[in-house]
Amino acid sequence: MVTVYKQEIADWLMMEHLASLHTVREKIRFFEHKYNQSWNAFQEQVEHAAQEDFARWDDYIEWKALMRVFEELSAKIDEIRHGNFEIA
């Protein structure tokens, strides 16, 4: 019989989510450097542009998704830190 402790699972989940968060963070930094501005400034520009720029719009969609994933991963990490997670 194999015994697995909750803390070992928490550690494994934490490492997995932190690695994913790092990857997402690097992709966000790419866009910040590409446009030399924050997500909020870029979002404002794209949403209120007088003329549509399809390349910027594509980056907007990807960057927005990355921001959502970043928030979700951050929330999951906080939950794991507080011991609030389930395993099926």
d(CA 69, CA 51): 28
Q: Where are the domains of the chain?
A: 6-81
Distance CA(86)–CA(88), nearest Å, equals 7
What would the pLDDT profile of 37-59 be if each residue is shown by its tens digit?
999 999 999 999 999 899 999 99
Whole-prediction pTM value? 0.88
Q: How many other CB atoms are there within 10 angstroms of residue 24's CB atom?
A: 20
pLDDT digits over 19-39, tens only? Answer: 999 999 999 999 999 999 999
pLDDT in the model for residue 55: 95
